[in-house]
Amino acid sequence: MELRPWNRIPIRDSTDPLVPLPEPLLRLEPHPYRSLGAPYGATACPFRLRAGVIERLLAAQELLLQQEPGWRLAIFDAWRPLAVQRFMVDLTIAELCRERGIPPERDSPERRQVIAEVGRFWAPPNLDPAAPPPHSTGAAVDLTLARRGADGDPCVAMGSAIDAIGAVSEPDHFLTVAQTSPDPQERERALEWHRCRELLRTVMEQAGFAQHPNEWWHFSWGDQLWAWRSGQRQAWFGRVDADG
């Protein structure tokens, strides 16, 4: 199975437990992958992270409140067992193949291209404990911004949905659009979306998190990706397979 650049970093697994997100952190429910039938099992709650990661999330939320008093962090997804990672990778490949009219069950150059595109965003469900998918460690979180007390969907517009496949999900995509579009209205929208993405990145990085290079919504603290992005020699968190 293909390794990522950060999978070479050794893991010195901490005993920091996996715990539920506290009430001050907004959970976006129903949970998106459970709604799709992802195999969490009867008792495995996805809204859990390592205790130290939660402390930093709360710190990031305080930093956000200092800049936007009516806003808060909104958690889309957190801990993800390997079975769910495998389910979502397979589902995403199949859906993208269907959208493009590619037989999802047949090997072809077009299907291999889809797999490569999906692989920029979804880590492979690697069984090797030395190369865990970030979410399986309880150290990675997918999140966005939300307005307190908003009617309907509280989430702030960020220019693309979480899990969107393509360049639109790259953190600085809309900065490039704002700098190159000939349409003034498109430039204005792009600048606002970039401002919101940059605000999320700023408060998360100030709290110690590292951002996935291809995903505006994905941040982690203590896993191999965090170590690779922040120049650390080792990661603190390996895979968590069950409660613990």
Residue 73 C-alpha from the chain's centroid: 13
- Strand, helix or coil for residue 47: coil
Taking the C-alpha atoms of residue 186 and residue 177, their distance in angstroms, rounded to an integer, is 8
Give the pLDDT confidence of 56-73 residue by residue, as tens digits. 999 999 999 999 999 999
pLDDT at 116: 94
pLDDT at 106: 86
Known catalytic residue at 215:
yes
Closest CA to 193 of 226, 219, 170, 224: 170
Tokens read off for 5: 């650049």
Q: Which of the residues in the chain have pLDDT under 70?
A: 1, 242-244
Where are the domains positioned within the chain? 5-230
Helical ranges in 100-209 per DSSP H: 109-119, 173-180, 184-206
**pTM listed for this prediction:** 0.95
| Domain 5-230 indexed as CATH 3.30.1380.10 | yes
Sheet holding 210-211, edge to edge: 26-27, 71-77, 140-147, 218-220, 210-211
Task: Considering the candidates 29, 62, 105, 215, report the single residue annotated as catalytic.
Answer: 215
Kindly give, in sequence order, each residue whose CB lies less than 8 Å from that of residue 119, ignoring residues fewer than 6 positions away. Answer: 2
pLDDT at 244: 43
